[in-house]
Amino acid sequence: MTSAAKVPQIVLNDGNRIPQFGFGVFQIPPDDTAAAVRTALELGYRHIDTAEMYRNEKGVGQGVRDAGIERDEVFITSKLNNGFHKPDDARRAFDATIDALGFDYVDLFLIHWPLPTLYDGDFVSTWKTLEEFKKDGRARSIGVSNFGIHHLEELARDTEIVPAVNQIEVHPYFTNDAVRAYGLDHTIVTEAWSPIAQGDVLDDPVLGQIAQKIGKTPAQVVLRWHIERGDIVFPKSVTTERIRANIDIFDFELSDDQIDAITGLDKGVAGRRGPDPDTFDWIPK
Ligand SMILES: NC(=O)c1ccc[n+]([C@@H]2O[C@H](COP(=O)([O-])OP(=O)(O)OC[C@H]3O[C@@H](n4cnc5c(N)ncnc54)[C@H](OP(=O)(O)O)[C@@H]3O)[C@@H](O)[C@H]2O)c1
């Protein structure tokens, strides 16, 4: 069986399906993105996670075309950049995403950050604008990223469509379980960003011992842990051997004790690598 055939599909709350495993392109330089995406697709990946902020959406579209993969065989996510939360700006930004990818729809479009200290704290009208993109069919599904429980509660109070996903920082040093649990209770699937904490967790002795015991690498063990917890993951790599190894995690399982040992590495907020969504207010120049 090919790697792509082994990746489970998750059914979102709007009925659409998403491959549970994919390829992230954060920090891949625009000029290198098409080649990296093509390599990933050739190695069986069928889900690509990009963002306007990464400035490499054009390379993602080009990589899909270069690989000769039909558009409906690959799941593509992009995200609204922080400077464009006002409805008219969001509409223009979404048009630019569609143009840059060179396709007429995205599978999933997210609000990248809630930015509660900007725009008078209003991410609700931004979300209502994403609802337009879902209704006109150019975003098959819509969701959010870096939303905490209180941000999600505010959306639930004031808007119609429940986000299909919430893409948040999750890895063994920051398991983010309260936000994950809220998602589970409200049909919002968690996507775990920086799933290997950009490499920081890989030297942990607990992971090293498990990896040695089952004959896998620490990265494969961590990625498998995410899969068994039910989250969606899309590790980033520009290294062909790592791209190949990262998806090779569908021929083994972790025991309950191994899963618990990895979850037990959580350091709470001290383990966070990225910004705090309650205070993050960066707008790219
Ligand atoms: N929504 C958000 O705010 C947000 C924030 C961050 C990330 N994301 C998404 O999540 C994706 C993944 O997160 P990330 O890129 O931050 O970090 P990551 O996937 O946890 O780690 C990527 C880093 O780990 C290295 N690496 C990859 N596979 C490896 C392996 N098997 N062994 C050793 N090192 C390995 C890569 O190096 P090489 O490339 O040199 O091989 C790269 O430096 C992003 O690409 C993006 O799509 C979203």
Q: Which atom of ligand 1 is nearest to the CA of 171?
A: 20
Give the residue whose CA is nearest to atom 35 of ligand 1: 199
Give the residue whose CA is nearest to atom 5 of ligand 1: 193
- Centroid of ligand 1 to alpha carbon of 32 (angstroms): 15
Choose one of 113, 236, 248, 281 to mutate for the ligand 1 pocket test, by most ligand atoms within 8 angstroms of C-beta: 236
The pLDDT value recorded for residue 35 is 98
Q: Is the pLDDT of residue 269 over 90?
A: yes
- Centroid of ligand 1 to alpha carbon of 196 (angstroms): 7
- Mean pLDDT of the region 94-121: 98
**pLDDT tier at 195, thresholds 50, 70, 90:** very high
- Centroid of ligand 1 to alpha carbon of 46 (angstroms): 17
pTM: 0.98
Please give the mean pLDDT across all residues of the chain: 97
Q: Which atom of ligand 1 is nearest to the CA of 198?
A: 21
The pLDDT value recorded for residue 183 is 98
**pLDDT tier at 4, thresholds 50, 70, 90:** low
**What are the residues whose beta carbons fall under 8 Å from the beta carbon of 221, sequence distance 6 or more?**
207, 210, 211, 214, 254, 258, 262
- Mean pLDDT of the region 188-204: 98
Give the residue whose CA is nearest to atom 36 of ligand 1: 237
Q: Is the pLDDT of residue 122 over 70?
A: yes
Residues with CB under 6 A from ligand 1: 24-26, 49, 112, 145-146, 167, 193-199, 202, 219, 234-239, 242, 245-246, 274
Q: Which atom of ligand 1 is nearest to the CA of 113?
A: 3
- Mean pLDDT of the region 165-193: 98
The pLDDT value recorded for residue 97 is 98
Q: Is the pLDDT of residue 256 over 90?
A: yes
- Mean pLDDT of the region 136-147: 99
Q: Is the pLDDT of residue 2 over 90?
A: no
- Centroid of ligand 1 to alpha carbon of 218 (angstroms): 14
- Centroid of ligand 1 to alpha carbon of 172 (angstroms): 14
Catalytic residues: 54
Choose one of 198, 204, 226, 232 to mutate for the ligand 1 pocket test, by most ligand atoms within 8 angstroms of C-beta: 198
